Amino acid sequence: MRRIIQLLVVSALTATTVVAFAGAGQAQTGTGDLATFCAARIEANSAETKADNIAVLTKMVGSAPAAVSTPMADLLALVKKQGDKAFESKEGTALLATLEPYIYDNCPGKQLPVTAIDYEYQGVPATLPAGITKIKMTNAAPKEDHMMAMVKLTAAGEAMDLDKLLAIPQKKQEKYFDFSNAAFMEAKPGGVGYSPINLTPGKYAYMCFFPEGGKKNGKPHFLLGMAGTVTVS
């Protein structure tokens, strides 16, 4: 899964860390080109390697509006130093907790607030218009971590029942899922995850892959009801 798009936890502790860390670097000045900045954030959905992430973050730094210029530059520096681990580090989590809400509030596109509970999503409509949708997933569960993957189905995937499709071993699912058109977000209880996605006509599946109770052998949440489809037209 693409590391930059994994939605990181926003909590009171994280928010406090954001203020301290975002002010630690020297001020950076981007061009303030919001359209380019937002387009690069969607491009980040398909970034897989460290080089991919550095390339797209460099675009975001170069076009960042003044309000997020410094934390954006700090995130790029962190990824250059730590690679994928930066997105799960305390510092990276804090920076994304500043950047992702800004993108949700200021970038173009339809806002889609979703609530994750044990074990379903609330607020996902049956249909969505094509174009950019910005998803905000709030984890309202008391104890369980939750994530939301939204992935476009191929023609073969659309022809299959979702439950049967999810039962297929992961290595054989590439025929049915188009992971180049996908978004991922995650959050701990009380946290929030964000991700924009450029939806194209067709059908998308959404689901939570986390195991029940966080246990290695726990049932995936999608087997407990955290899965569904949405048609884009």
- Whether 9 has a pLDDT exceeding 50, the answer reads no
- Look at the alpha carbons of 85, 91, 97, 102 in this order and tell me if their dihedral is positive or negative: negative
- Band (pLDDT 50/70/90 cuts) for residue 173 is confident
Looking at residue 23, what is its pLDDT? 30
Q: Give CA–CA dist 207/222, Å, rounded.
A: 6
Looking at residue 29, what is its pLDDT? 55
Looking at residue 168, what is its pLDDT? 87
Looking at residue 22, what is its pLDDT? 28
- Whether 185 has a pLDDT exceeding 90, the answer reads yes
Decide which of 54 and 23 is more confident: 54
Average pLDDT over residues 41-47: 92
Share the mean pLDDT of the chain: 87
- Per-residue pLDDT of 110-147, as tens digits, reads 999 999 999 999 999 999 999 999 999 999 999 999 99
Q: Which domains are delineated in the chain? A: 10-106 (no CATH), 110-232 (2.60.40.420)
Alpha-carbon distances, residue 129 vs 96, 202, 207, 225 (angstroms): 27, 10, 20, 25
The amino acid at residue 205 is A
Looking at residue 1, what is its pLDDT? 36
Looking at residue 81, what is its pLDDT? 95
Looking at residue 133, what is its pLDDT? 98
Cα atoms in the Cβ-side hemisphere of radius 13 Å centred on 133? 24
Looking at residue 116, what is its pLDDT? 98
